C-alpha cells in the first residue's frame, strides 16, 4: 500500500533531476526541443492545478496556461515560459485544499505517466505511440511542485495551525482505518 508513496517520491526526484540536467547541459540545437517539451508540460501542469481546484472546491480568480517572458542582456535574448493559477484573495483556503492543489500536478502527472506507459505496450498505431511518448516526456519535465506551490502550502498551514493539525489528524486516521478495514472486506479477485 505504501509502495505507491515511494514511487511518487522517486518520480518527483527523477522529474527534478531530469529537468535540471536538460535545462543546463543540453547543447544549442536540442534545447529548442526541450523547450517544446517544457511548454507542453507547463500547460498540463496548470491544467492539473485547475482540475484539483474544482475537485477541492477552491475558488479560482484567473488561470494563465502559458506566459512568455523575454530576458535580454548584452548579446543575448532568452525566452522563458511559465504558467499561473490565482486563487481568489477574499477566500482563505484550508491546509488540505492547499496540499491537494499544490501537489496535484505531481500526483496527477504520476498517474497519467504510468497510464500512458501501460498504453504504449498495446498501441498498434505508431503516430499515437509518438504522441504518448511526447506527452510522457513533457510530464517528466514539469511534474515537480514549484516553489510557489510549496509556499502556498506553508502559508495555509501558518494561517490556522490548529485547524491544519486537525485536518492532518483526520487524514491520518482515515488512511489508518482504510488500511485496517480494507483487508477485512475480502473482495473477490477479478
Contact 104, 76 (CB under 8 A): no
Which tens digits make up the pLDDT trace of 96-132? 988 998 889 888 998 998 899 888 888 778 888 899 9
* Mean of per-residue pLDDT scores for the chain: 81
Which tens digits make up the pLDDT trace of 53-69? 889 888 887 777 777 76
Pseudo-torsion of CA 61, 56, 13, 153, nearest 10°?
70
Contact 62, 49 (CB under 8 A): no
Alpha carbon 90 to its chain centroid, in Å, reads: 25
CA distances (Å), 162 to each of 35, 93, 101, 150, in order? Answer: 43, 14, 20, 19
> How many other β-carbons are positioned within 10 Å of the β-carbon of residue 20?
12
Amino acid at each position: 500500500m505504501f509502495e505507491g508513496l515511494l514511487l511518487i517520491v522517486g518520480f518527483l526526484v527523477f522529474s527534478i533531476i531530469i529537468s535540471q540536467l536538460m535545462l543546463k547541459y543540453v547543447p544549442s540545437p536540442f534545447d529548442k526541443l526541450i523547450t517544446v517539451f517544457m511548454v507542453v508540460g507547463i500547460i498540463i501542469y496548470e491544467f492539473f492545478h485547475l482540475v484539483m481546484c474544482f475537485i477541492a472546491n477552491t475558488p479560482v480568480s484567473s488561470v494563465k496556461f502559458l506566459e512568455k517572458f523575454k530576458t535580454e542582456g548584452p548579446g543575448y535574448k532568452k525566452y522563458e515560459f511559465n504558467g499561473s493559477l490565482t486563487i481568489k484573495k477574499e477566500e482563505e483556503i484550508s491546509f488540505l485544499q492547499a496540499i491537494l492543489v499544490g501537489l496535484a500536478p505531481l500526483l496527477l502527472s504520476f498517474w497519467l505517466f504510468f497510464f500512458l506507459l501501460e498504453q504504449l505496450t498495446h498501441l498498434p498505431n505508431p503516430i499515437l505511440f509518438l504522441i504518448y511518448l511526447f506527452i510522457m516526456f513533457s510530464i517528466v519535465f514539469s511534474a515537480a511542485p514549484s516553489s510557489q506551490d510549496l509556499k502556498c502550502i506553508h502559508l495555509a498551514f501558518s494561517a490556522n495551525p490548529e485547524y491544519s493539525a486537525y485536518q492532518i489528524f483526520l487524514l491520518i486516521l482515515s488512511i489508518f482505518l482504510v488500511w485496517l478495514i480494507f483487508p477485512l472486506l475480502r473482495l473477490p479477485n477479478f
